[in-house]
């Protein structure tokens, strides 16, 4: 086991599936045309793009015309939120409802909009990492232009009651966007049945390539242009299309959806084994609801540890994990997600996120279960906070 690397950071990004790589190859060198060209090479590329769009639409249960290709989840989030804001402002609606534990692609866009005169309500989530549809509904006002609530959280993996939130928005005539980057390809997503107006997805989170994603925008919901230029994507997103990326994304998503049941039952077994194993460590706690979470997500706090140090010890032992979200590891601020769940700062620092893929094995899980306690011990040994806890100077939180 020593020289083998165990990758357990699939919420950060995934390896491309074989089917996605194979689907992509012909579009790198043979079918390299520009879909806007009228000749045969261009038209072959256009056909591939249309086909990819149809596959993605089928997986989400929408029309192909409702899918817009983008550069990934961040761009889709930006375009969806900006669109609803611009359109709302035209009608004098400048209020937006969201949660405090969204991805930064959402939160930073909203912060910008606040500076531009919008008012944003950030709903707290419960300790289980879930916001209720009733809470969202209660926050909607006559001047609400948009509700944006993520489908599944990227740190704690908790799944939100999207269908009910969508129904509450539909009833009140408010546009509902969901950042489903962690959900698509992992749990069943149906934009029609779940009353979703706009949805963001990203290929590299479901074993497709990086730098390509899509935005679903329901027919009739206005979409604003963020990238000006040519008339690609029905005039809503300029730039020569990433054909190879779109084709690979479609192949990855189709593959993920076809194998979803098989994969999630395997992942569930691995996840439960890992949670049981790690919770044997004293003063540890699972973050987020145990059942209503992504089948591949484990997020645990170890009191008296510091996430970054834990990661270094695990990396040295060949385990790739994450503390909170990859976007925040560079800063020493604790995760905004764990703080939104109501965890005190001291504990929010000491969290470990392990996100699995169907490639992981039971043997790997057992190696992680065997290795983490040592890493936790090492970090606690040099922690003055842990000293204070064990000496009784500070009371244990967990």
| Contact residues: ligand PLP, CB under 6 A | 72-74, 77, 103, 105, 150, 154, 179, 181-182, 202, 204-205, 213
- Using CA atoms, how far residue 332 sits from 123, 132, 306, 328, in Å, is 24, 30, 10, 8
202 vs 309 by CB, closer to ligand PLP:
202
Specify whether the CB–CB gap between 144 and 97 falls below 8 A: yes
Report the 10 Å Cβ neighbour count for 271: 24
Active-site annotation holds for 327: yes
Task: List strand residue ranges (DSSP E) for 78-180, in order.
Answer: 95-99, 119-123, 144-148, 175-179
Looking at beta carbons, which residue is closest to ligand PLP? Answer: 73
SS3 state of residue 176: strand
CA angle, corner 354, sides to 18 and 262, nearest 5?
A: 45
Q: Where do we find the tokens 């994990």?
A: 321
At closest approach, how far in Å is the CB of 104 from ligand PLP? 8
Q: What is the length of the chain?
A: 398
At closest approach, how far in Å is the CB of 204 from ligand PLP? 6
Closest CA to 356 of 290, 281, 291, 269: 269
User: CA-to-CA distance for 135 and 132, rounded, in angstroms?
Assistant: 5
Measured in whole angstroms, how far is the alpha carbon of residue 97 from the centre of its chain? 19
SS3 state of residue 97: strand
Half-sphere exposure of 271 (CA within 13 A, CB side): 26
213 vs 307 by CB, closer to ligand PLP:
213
DSSP state of 397: -
33 vs 161 by CB, closer to ligand PLP:
161
- Interacting residues of 80 by C-beta distance below 8 A, sequence separation 6+: 148, 177, 198, 199, 200, 215, 217
First-to-last alpha carbon distance for the chain, in angstroms, is 33
- Interacting residues of 228 by C-beta distance below 8 A, sequence separation 6+: 238
User: CA-to-CA distance for 289 and 58, rounded, in angstroms?
Assistant: 30
Active site residues: 327
């Amino acid at each position: 086991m020593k020289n083998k690397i165990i990758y357990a950071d699939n919420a950060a990004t995934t390896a491309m599936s074989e089917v996605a790589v194979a689907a992509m190859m012909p579009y790198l060198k043979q079918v390299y045309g520009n879909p806007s060209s009228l000749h045969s090479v261009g038209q072959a590329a256009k056909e591939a793009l249309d086909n990819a769009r149809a596959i993605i639409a089928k997986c989400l249960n929408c029309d192909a015309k409702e899918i817009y290709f983008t550069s990934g989840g961040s761009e889709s989030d930006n375009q969806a939120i900006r669109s609803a804001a611009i359109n709302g402002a035209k009608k004098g609606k400048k209020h937006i409802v969201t949660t405090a534990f969204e991805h930064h692609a959402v939160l930073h866009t909203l912060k910008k909009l606040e500076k531009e005169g919008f008012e944003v309500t950030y709903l707290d989530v419960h300790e289980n990492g879930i916001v209720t549809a009733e809470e969202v509904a209660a926050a909607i006002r006559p001047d609400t232009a948009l509700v944006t609530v993520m489908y599944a959280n990227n740190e704690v993996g908790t799944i939100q009651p999207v269908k009910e939130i969508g129904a509450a928005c539909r009833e009140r005539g408010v546009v509902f966007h969901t950042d489903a980057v962690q959900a698509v390809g992992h749990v069943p997503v149906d934009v029609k049945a779940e009353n979703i107006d706009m949805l963001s997805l990203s290929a590299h989170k479901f074993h497709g390539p990086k730098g390509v994603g899509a935005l679903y925008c329901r027919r009739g919901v206005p979409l604003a242009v963020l990238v000006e230029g040519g008339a690609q994507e029905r005039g809503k997103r300029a730039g020569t299309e990433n054909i190879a990326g779109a084709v690979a994304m479609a192949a990855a998503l189709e593959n993920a959806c076809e194998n979803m049941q098989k994969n999630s039952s395997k992942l569930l077994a691995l996840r439960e084994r890992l949670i049981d194993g790690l919770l044997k460590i004293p003063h540890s706690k699972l973050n987020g609801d145990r059942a209503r979470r992504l089948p591949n997500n484990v997020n645990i706090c170890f009191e008296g540890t510091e996430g970054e140090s834990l990661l270094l010890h695990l990396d040295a032992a060949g385990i790739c994990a994450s503390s909170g979200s990859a976007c925040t590891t560079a800063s020493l601020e604790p995760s905004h997600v764990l703080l939104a769940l109501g965890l005190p700062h001291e504990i929010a620092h000491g969290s470990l996120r392990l996100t699995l893929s169907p490639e992981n094995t039971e043997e790997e899980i057992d190696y992680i279960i065997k290795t983490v306690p040592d890493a936790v011990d090492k970090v606690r040994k040099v922690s003055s906070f842990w000293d204070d806890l064990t000496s009784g100077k500070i009371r244990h939180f967990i």
